[in-house]
A and B are shown apart, each in its own frame.
Chain A
Amino acid sequence: MAKVWINGQSSIEVKEAEGINAVHLTVDDKEIVVSGGQTILEAVQRMPGIGNIPHLCYHPAVKPYGACRICTVEVSEDGGSRFKFVAACLYLVKEGLVVKTNTERVRKLRKGIIELLLARCPNVKRIQELAEEYGVEKPRFVLGDQDCTLCGLCVRACQEIIGKSAISLVNRGIYREVAAPFYAYELSEDCIGCGDCAFVCPTGAIEMGPDGKPVLPKVKIPYAEIEAMMKREEVTTS
């Protein structure tokens, strides 16, 4: 027999089907049964009312990346004696797993991550919403003005769904950004103008431009100015 939860409030007992790969685990003290081979986040997404796991860099259409770390939860593999932090979007469900998605420690970690993100992207609505939910008022850091949180969804969508990989994440560390090869402001023929990148972007940092191609996050300089820059370069170097 297995419990099926209705909106996380009440549950009914149902007979378990035979021969399926069922995994029994506990999420926030509620026992659930899910099919094996999925991550905690995927399992919880399908059960409204169970678990509270925010996420930024996750999208069901692409492979999980584990970059934002907001989906971090506490799990215990030994029935609840020792817990460790894992990213729910990457950690596969296991038989007997005990998951806690909303403990004080988890909330403290999420609050810290949101504060760092808010300092990087103070004008992004999604981050502002998360900040309000987790009680982050004013970051203790100098504010940046980025719109891109480097979740990598646009890059992954282009690579995995479209198979084109017209854009990628370049540089490393704090200098990382989403860019086209050689920072070209004009995307090559590799980009088919499908708009998937803009669709999956959680912050609106990448948007479709007037020419049917996306305007990348850092390219805030108007095209006319870039052309002028290129012409000047050609004059001095020829």
Chain B
Amino acid sequence: MEVSLDFPRVKAIVESCTEKVDSLIDSYTDKKEQLISLLQDVQAEFNYLPQDVLVKVSQKLDIPLSQVFSVATFFRAFSLKPKGRHLVTICTGTACHVRGGQRLVDKIERDYGIKPGETTEDMKFTLETVNCLGCCALGPVAVVDGKYESQVTPDKLERALRKCQ
């Protein structure tokens, strides 16, 4: 069981954005069935779903907080914790798996100590896996900060990661 506490640093950012948060949520008034779209907007803005934003969503749109929380934890697009500065996504679709995609995941675990969904201690990297990017011809595929790398070997991945500050 996790007792989730907001990191004060990020909390400060959220508090300073109250106007932005308010207007974002207000744009969904009378559209509470579009909860998932709203949460996606929040995720895009803050790189995760801050606690107080979720509470605000529940209050303003009159959706039970428990339902907002259920939705936030059900879908993989959402993160309740802040993510690292650099996002490393490794495709674990069948085609990439058959071409050795798992080894890239293993390599990150070995060298950076994080499993899929986790972030390094220094908040530098977040590792995620995705079930198919649709680039099967180029597998194994990894995406580092939005840049697609094709036919990735553990070496090539390391080189791409070294480029990230």
Cβ–Cβ < 8 Å partners of B69 in chain A: 168, 170, 179, 181-182
Cβ–Cβ < 8 Å partners of A183 in chain B: 1-4
Cβ–Cβ < 8 Å partners of B74 in chain A: 170-172
Per the bound structure, the CA–CA distance linking A190 and B63 in Å amounts to 12
Cβ–Cβ < 8 Å partners of B137 in chain A: none
Most chain A CB inside 10 Å of its own CB: which residue of B7, B54, B70: B70
8 A Cβ contacts from A81-125 to B: none
A168 touches B66 (CB 8 A): yes
B8 touches A238 (CB 8 A): yes
Cβ–Cβ < 8 Å partners of A179 in chain B: 69
A233 touches B3 (CB 8 A): yes
Cβ–Cβ < 8 Å partners of B4 in chain A: 182-183
B8 touches A237 (CB 8 A): yes
Interface 9-mer from A50-58, A61-69, A159-167, A205-213: A159-167
User: Which of under 10, 10 to 19, 20 to 34, or 35 or more describes the interface residues of B?
Assistant: 10 to 19
A166 touches B66 (CB 8 A): yes
Interface 9-mer from A8-16, A18-26, A218-226: A218-226
Cβ–Cβ < 8 Å partners of A226 in chain B: 3
Per the bound structure, the CA–CA distance linking A188 and B68 in Å amounts to 15
Judge if B131 is at the interface, Cβ distance under 8 Å: no
Cβ–Cβ < 8 Å partners of B8 in chain A: 237-238
A171, A190, A234, A238: which contacts B73 (Cβ < 8 A)?
A171
Per the bound structure, the CA–CA distance linking A229 and B8 in Å amounts to 16
Per the bound structure, the CA–CA distance linking A237 and B4 in Å amounts to 13
B70 touches A170 (CB 8 A): yes
Cβ–Cβ < 8 Å partners of A180 in chain B: 66
> Which residue from chain A places its CB closest to the CB of B80 in the assembled complex?
A182
Judge if B51 is at the interface, Cβ distance under 8 Å: yes
Per the bound structure, the CA–CA distance linking A182 and B5 in Å amounts to 9
Per the bound structure, the CA–CA distance linking A221 and B68 in Å amounts to 25
Interface membership of chain B positions 52-96, coded 1 if the CB is closer than 8 angstroms to chain A and 0 otherwise? 001000000000111111100110000000000000000000000
A165, A185, A219: which contacts B67 (Cβ < 8 A)?
A165
Q: Give how many A residues have a beta carbon under 8 Å from the other chain's beta carbons.
A: 29
Per the bound structure, the CA–CA distance linking A117 and B65 in Å amounts to 30
8 A Cβ contacts from B95-141 to A: none
Given that A181-B65, A237-B8 are contacting pairs, would A168 and B70 also be in contact in the complex, using a CB cutoff of 8 Å? Answer: yes
Cβ–Cβ < 8 Å partners of A166 in chain B: 64, 66
Cβ–Cβ < 8 Å partners of A234 in chain B: 5
A167 touches B7 (CB 8 A): no
B64 touches A190 (CB 8 A): yes
Q: In the complex, how many angstroms separate the beta carbon of A212 from the nearest chain B beta carbon?
A: 19
Judge if A230 is at the interface, Cβ distance under 8 Å: yes
Cβ–Cβ < 8 Å partners of B68 in chain A: 181
8 A Cβ contacts from B138-163 to A: none
Judge if A2 is at the interface, Cβ distance under 8 Å: no
A165, A171, A218: which contacts B66 (Cβ < 8 A)?
A165
B5 touches A164 (CB 8 A): no
Cβ–Cβ < 8 Å partners of A136 in chain B: none
Q: In the complex, how many angstroms separate the beta carbon of A48 from the nearest chain B beta carbon?
A: 38
Cβ–Cβ < 8 Å partners of A169 in chain B: 70
Q: In the complex, how many angstroms separate the beta carbon of A165 from the nearest chain B beta carbon?
A: 4
Q: In the complex, how many angstroms separate the beta carbon of B136 from the nearest chain A beta carbon?
A: 25
Most chain A CB inside 10 Å of its own CB: which residue of B2, B4, B64: B64
A–B Cβ pairs within 8 angstroms, 13 of them: A168-B69, A170-B69, A170-B70, A171-B73, A181-B68, A182-B69, A184-B3, A188-B65, A190-B66, A219-B1, A230-B5, A234-B5, A237-B7
5 shortest A-B CB distances, which residue pairs? A168-B66, A165-B64, A181-B69, A170-B73, A168-B70
